[in-house]
Amino acid sequence: MEKTYTNALPLTMTSPEKQETVCIFGTGDFGRALGYKMLQCGYSVVFGSRNPQMSSLLPNGAEVCSYSEAARKSDVVILTIHREHYDFLTELTDVLNGKILVDVSNNLKINQYPESNAEYLAQVVPGAHVVKAFNTISAWALQTGAMDASRQVFVCGNDRNAKQRVMDIVRTLGLTPLDQGYLVAAKEIENYPLQLFPMWRLPFYLSAALVVFFFFYCILRDVIYPYVNEKQDTTFRLAVSIPNRVFPITALILLALVYFPGVIAAILQLYRGTKYRQFPAWLDHWMLCRKQLGLVALGFAVLHAIYTLVIPIRYYVRWRWRNITIAQIMEKKENPFSTSSAWLSDSYLSLGILGFFLFVLLGITSLPSVSNTVNWREFRFVQSKLGYLTLILCTAHTLVYGGKRFLSPLSLRWALPSAYVLALIIPCTVLVIKFILIMPCIDKTLTRIRQGWERNSEYSKPAVNGRSDI
């Protein structure tokens, strides 16, 4: 039997067998777009307006009349008006009694009122069955039927039948209803469209702080220091050289920060001896942002790869190699081949290529369209096992980059080490702690804790005579 997936449906569905009338209060952009879509799907639409004679731009086939007349023609009334204009509904309490009242309104800012608009509407019209829906769908998506628009409609309400009726309408319009429970969830649903990248703020702020810090750190070492000590103008490094150091450093640190909260959580569980105690709020938020941290890190890694590809065509690089070549010709000598340097160079490149490949693989598998096609074990294998392998390869790539210069006193400038040395602190810390946690003696205890065992619980003690109180 052929399967049909909801998220593959267009925003136009076949008409219902029996034409149903739906009332829409309000003739604004969203009301007109919703009415037009309902007419396409076979519904009979009647608009309620304060000035029926003045209403224009309504879709063909729709009827428009006063609020009271429109409400009498349908038992489903959709309010596409703002909360500030709900006062007129008090005059229609008798007409709206027992009807399904769908609130689609949003506010201008998060938590603008003590209660949600839907809960306030239920207070204004206590005899109606209020349902919150359609506030996450834009008028543009309804009008154009864009395939890339959001198709999820959060629905909540206290009356099960009324909520089911609204969800049926949502499905008929080709959208995906998501039942969020009772009407108390309306406040969260109304806040959702007002949120601006809530899970991306920490990654953006953190990456910005890292970029600014290491950018000025590299300026201090590579621009200011040569000018003060040798009167050399190396400001040209600001365009390519310094960004090509800052971007991989930021990518490596962000990648390590993806796995850092996991090891912190494991240490807390070992210390507490249970998994049933809540983590601190900052750690919870950090763990929720791991996907975003990884994607931002991947972006910096891509920038590093692009900047590296343009190195051979830079004027400074071409000028330097020409001078070296001419100097060797004039002096009639050549540099001897160094096998160790060749090994370091090839290893550095190989580790970088492999690390970048796995980095891209992690980013691809984090996409919903890909992650939905794998089971939990496969997803965990890619994101955890291959993720740590990626971190190992990228850390080794940075270590080999230092080569013989790593921690050499000659590389210090004003007692400041190279930037890549600072970049290795967090990744090496994560890898060392992870190595300790996977040791059999510790991993066995941690696995038991994550399976429900508690160190100080009476239920975790061995049962007497093979019997248990559970």
Quote the percentage of the chain above a pLDDT of 90: 37
Instruction: Please tell me the total number of residues recorded for the chain in this structure.
Output: 470
User: Does the pLDDT at position 19 exceed 90?
Assistant: no
User: Does the pLDDT at position 459 exceed 70?
Assistant: no
Taking only the tens place, the pLDDT of each residue in 323-351 is 888 887 887 777 788 788 888 888 889 99
User: Does the pLDDT at position 4 exceed 50?
Assistant: no
* pLDDT (0 to 100) of residue 193: 82
* pLDDT (0 to 100) of residue 210: 95
Contact by Cβ (8 Å): 398, 377? no
3-state secondary structure the chain: CCCCCHHHCCCCCCCCCCCCEEEEECCCHHHHHHHHHHHHCCCEEEEECCCHHHCCCCCCCCEEECHHHHHHCCCEEEECCCHHHHHHHHHHHHHHCCCEEEECCCCCCCCCCCCCHHHHHHHHCCCCEEEECCCCCCHHHHHHCCCCCCCEEEEEECCHHHHHHHHHHHHHCCCEEEECCCHHHHHHHHHHHHCCCCCCHHHHHHHHHHHHHHHHHHHHHHHHHHHHHHCCCCHHHHCCCCHHHHHHHHHHHHHHHHHHHHHHHHHHHHHHCCCCCCCCHHHHHHHHCHHHHHHHHHHHHHHHHHHHHCHHHCHHHHHHHHHHHHHHHHHCCCCCCCHHHHHHHHHHHHHHHHHHHHHHHHHHHCCHHHHCCCCHHHHHHHHHHHHHHHHHHHHHHHHHHHHHHCCCHHHCECCECCHHHHHCHHHHHHHHHHHHHCCHHHHHHHHHHHCCCCCCCHHHCCCHHHCCCC
Per the model's pLDDT, the better-predicted residue between 304 and 332 turns out to be 304
Cβ partners under 8 Å of residue 289, min gap 6: 199, 200, 202, 203
User: At which residue do the structure tokens 């998506």 appear?
Assistant: 141
Taking only the tens place, the pLDDT of each residue in 407-444 is 677 778 888 888 888 999 999 999 999 999 999 988 89
User: Does the pLDDT at position 457 exceed 70?
Assistant: no
Give the orientation angle of helix 339-365 with respect to helix 290-309, to 10 degrees. 140
User: Taking residues 115-119, what's their average pLDDT?
Assistant: 91
Taking only the tens place, the pLDDT of each residue in 148-206 is 456 789 999 999 999 999 999 999 988 889 999 999 999 988 888 877 777 788 899 99
* pLDDT (0 to 100) of residue 379: 78
Nearest one of 246, 249, 198, 193 to 222, comparing CA atoms? 246
Q: Supply the mean pLDDT for the chain.
A: 84
* pLDDT (0 to 100) of residue 55: 63
Per the model's pLDDT, the better-predicted residue between 373 and 100 turns out to be 100
Nearest one of 258, 214, 289 to 430, comparing CA atoms? 258
φ/ψ of 207, rounded to 5, equals -65, -40
Confidence band (pLDDT; 50, 70, 90) for 458?
low
Among 302-306, 364-368, 432-436, which stretch is predicted with the lowest mean pLDDT? 364-368
* pLDDT (0 to 100) of residue 412: 83
User: Does the pLDDT at position 93 exceed 50?
Assistant: yes
Taking only the tens place, the pLDDT of each residue in 382-412 is 888 899 999 999 999 998 887 667 667 777 8
* pLDDT (0 to 100) of residue 56: 67
What are 367's two structure tokens?
A: 């996409």
Contact by Cβ (8 Å): 355, 427? no
User: Taking residues 204-221, what's their average pLDDT?
Assistant: 93
What are 155's two structure tokens?
A: 């629905």
Highest mean pLDDT among 53-62, 219-228, 296-305, 408-417: 296-305
Cα-based torsion angle of the residue sequence 252, 257, 258, 262 in order, rounded to the nearest 10 degrees:
140
* pLDDT (0 to 100) of residue 10: 42
User: Does the pLDDT at position 378 exceed 70?
Assistant: yes
* pLDDT (0 to 100) of residue 146: 52
Beta bridge partners of 76: 100
User: Distance between CA atoms of 240 and 329, rounded to whole angstroms?
Assistant: 30
Taking only the tens place, the pLDDT of each residue in 244-287 is 999 999 999 999 999 999 999 999 999 988 888 888 989 988 98
Q: Is the dihedral of CA 203, 206, 212, 218 positive or negative?
A: negative
User: Does the pLDDT at position 17 exceed 60?
Assistant: no
Nearest one of 297, 431, 427, 399 to 356, comparing CA atoms? 297
User: At which residue do the structure tokens 């834009």 appear?
Assistant: 138
* pLDDT (0 to 100) of residue 25: 92
Contact by Cβ (8 Å): 391, 256? yes
User: Does the pLDDT at position 3 exceed 60?
Assistant: no
What are 204's two structure tokens?
A: 């953006």
* pLDDT (0 to 100) of residue 100: 93
What are 233's two structure tokens?
A: 């103008």
User: Does the pLDDT at position 465 exceed 90?
Assistant: no
Taking only the tens place, the pLDDT of each residue in 132-145 is 999 888 888 787 76
Confidence band (pLDDT; 50, 70, 90) for 464?
very low
User: Taking residues 11-25, what's their average pLDDT?
Assistant: 66
Taking only the tens place, the pLDDT of each residue in 32-67 is 889 989 998 889 999 988 887 776 677 788 888 988
Cβ partners under 8 Å of residue 286, min gap 6: 202, 261
